[in-house]
């Protein structure tokens, strides 16, 4: 799917920006942060941010001397881009498999870099509920091969999760799935 995005959008920098800002649209980023993260010149990142903002895909807000950019949720293509990015990162397959095979899953969270929209190659998941550990281990191995990324999991019951709230509140978290949705 990433190759599909790369073939549709010829600028690799633009794809990286879209992946970063549309995966978790609640997060924002500023020019130098993106340039450092992508190891690309700030001039190139600046030009791509201007083009994406001009097309209406991004919103910006001045914060001190920095301009912070985020995905524009009001754009008519927001839902489609958000969905494409999640598919490109393999999140749709992970969640579908988790829900089908892991027992009584209450909630699933993405934590760490991926929750910020950074594709670092290591996906950290926290699953809350009565999780079948044998199926989880099997699922992780199969999914890693399919999506080409490492998956680290933490499975806890509801009580453990509640007792760990303070720890989790300090890390970026993105709710991926909740029972009843």
Instruction: Indicate the residue among 26, 52, 84 that finishes a domain.
Output: 84
* Residues 142-154, mean pLDDT to the nearest whole number: 82
CA–CA dist 103, 134 (Å, integer): 11
* 112 pLDDT above the threshold of 70: yes
What does the mean pLDDT of the chain come to? 83
Asked which of 62, 84, 106 is the last residue of a domain, the reply is: 84
pLDDT tier for residue 25 given thresholds of 50, 70 and 90: confident
The parent domain of residue 143 ranges over 90-178
The Cα diameter of the chain in Å comes to 51
Q: Which residue has the higher pLDDT, 89 or 46?
A: 46
Taking the complete model, does pTM exceed 0.75, yes or no? no
The per-residue pLDDT for 101 is 72
Lowest mean pLDDT, pick from 29-43, 91-105, 113-127, 154-168 = 91-105
Which band of pLDDT confidence, cut at 50, 70 and 90, is reported for residue 31? very high
Q: Name the residue among 45, 15, 9, 5 with its Cα closest to residue 117.
A: 15
| 56 and 109 together in one domain | no
Q: What is the mean pLDDT of residues 102-125?
A: 84
DSSP type of residue 116: G
Of 61, 84, 107, the residue at which a domain comes to its end is: 84
In this predicted model, which residue has the larger pLDDT, 5 or 65? Answer: 65
Q: What is the rounded average pLDDT of the residues 81-109?
A: 74
Assess whether 94 and 172 both reside in one domain: yes
Residue 165 has pLDDT above 70, yes or no: yes
Q: Which pLDDT belongs to residue 163?
A: 93
**How many Cβ atoms are within 10 Å of 174's Cβ, its own excluded?**
19
Give the alpha-carbon dihedral of 101, 1, 26, 150, to 10 degrees. 50
CATH of the domain at 15: 1.10.10.10
Q: What average pLDDT does the segment 134-142 reach?
A: 85
């Amino acid at each position: 799917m990433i190759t599909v995005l790369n073939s549709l959008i010829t600028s690799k920098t633009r794809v990286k920006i879209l992946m970063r800002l549309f995966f978790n649209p609640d997060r924002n980023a500023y020019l130098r942060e993106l340039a450092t993260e992508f190891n690309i010149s700030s001039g190139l990142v600046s030009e791509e941010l201007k083009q994406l903002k001009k097309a209406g895909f991004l919103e910006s807000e001045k914060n001190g001397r920095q301009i912070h950019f985020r995905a524009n949720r009001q754009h008519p293509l927001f839902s489609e881009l958000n969905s494409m990015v999640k598919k490109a990162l393999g999140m749709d397959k992970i969640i579908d498999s988790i829900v089908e095979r892991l027992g009584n899953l209450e909630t699933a969270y993405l934590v760490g870099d991926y929750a910020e929209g950074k594709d670092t190659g290591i996906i950290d998941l926290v699953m809350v509920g009565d999780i079948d550990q044998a199926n989880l281990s099997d699922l992780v191995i199969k999914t890693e091969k399919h999506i080409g990324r490492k998956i680290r999991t933490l499975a806890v019951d509801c009580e453990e999760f509640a007792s760990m709230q303070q720890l989790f509140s300090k890390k970026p978290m993105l709710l991926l799935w909740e029972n009843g949705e």
